[in-house]
Structure 1
Amino acid sequence: MAEEKTPATPIKEGPGSATPSSTATAPKAPRASPKPAAPVKDGAGKAKNAKEVIKEEAGKASRQAGDKARGYAEQGKEKATGALDEAAKVIKDAAGSVDDKFGSEYGRYAHSAAGSVSDLADRLRDADVDDLLEEARQFVRKSPAIALGAAAAVGFIFARILKSGIDSDTSI
């Protein structure tokens, strides 16, 4: 038995064809050869610029904060030197009384203390804030226990000053 083959009929396509083709598809776009993608200027460029802008703004904020901190440190240094000058004056005035009441030997100690406080005020007045900060860092590294104790004492003194200020305001 021989198989009979039927000849394939060509499918007519075109504007006037009446039979729809099952193999007909939409025209395909020509395939492009693979190329490296060009950088997208809108998306990636903006992201890179935004990163740089944020970095610059952070740098500006950091510099402004540093400048403000230095300004506050300068003000604190001026107040501290003023207080030390006043303390030296008080000690010097008291040294005369110590001479009269307890003798010149004890008076010498008081005069020496007044001179030391006055010298400290002068050194502080002449020092740069950055140098003072570096000295403080070195001191803390060398003697952390003393630095911690001094910080606690200063905190206690400030707390007492604030408390006395608050107590005097409420009694009015």
Structure 2
Amino acid sequence: MAAQGKEQVKHFTGATRDRVYQQVDNRKDELIKGLNGFASTLEDASQNAEGLSQQVLDGAVGYLRRFSDRIENGSTEDLVRDAKQFVRERPGPFFAGCIAVGFLAARFLKD
């Protein structure tokens, strides 16, 4: 009975994962467009910034452009695998990046 329950859970999670991956694949173009738009906004802000702020913004723009290219050229499974590996190998930079993106997003959404 327990083995059957485990098998059903495994099947359900696999089917759910497949549906999520399909949804992501269907919306790749929207995501790429949004990332490129955000990168362009940061690029514009970088032109008005100086010093460390400009360096951070330029770095974020480069990262967003590379990420957008990766999404466009890779499969959803590849992206998930790469993200898991990055977080495992570099949790500090990952969380620092999340915080930085949050501050930048709040700043631009406020304006």
Q: TM-score range by the shorter chain?
A: 0.5 to 0.7
CA distance in 1, matches of 2:81, 2:21: 13
Change in CA separation of 1:62 and 1:125 when aligned onto 2, cut-off 3 Å: same
The answer for unaligned runs of 5 or more in structure 1 is 1-49, 99-109, 165-172
Correspondence for 1:74 among 13, 25, 46? 25
Residue 60 of structure 1 and its aligned partner are, at CA, apart by: 2.2
User: TM-score of the superposition, structure 1-length normalised?
Assistant: 0.38
CA distance in 2, matches of 1:139, 1:88: 21
Letter aligned with residue 22 of structure 2: G
Correspondence for 1:138 among 47, 60, 85? 85
Matched residue, 1:84? 35
Larger Cα Rg: Structure 1 or Structure 2?
A: 1
Write 1 or 2 for the structure with the bigger share of helix. Answer: 2
Residue 82 of structure 1 and its aligned partner are, at CA, apart by: 1.2
Percent same amino acid among aligned pairs?
Answer: 21
Letter aligned with residue 35 of structure 2: L
The answer for unaligned runs of 5 or more in structure 2 is 48-57
Answer 1 or 2: higher relative contact order, Cα 8 Å, separation at least 6. 2
CA distance in 2, matches of 1:136, 1:85: 19
CA distance in 2, matches of 1:121, 1:137: 17
Matched residue, 1:170? none
User: TM-score of the superposition, structure 2-length normalised?
Assistant: 0.53
Aligned residues: 94
Correspondence for 1:64 among 5, 15, 25? 15
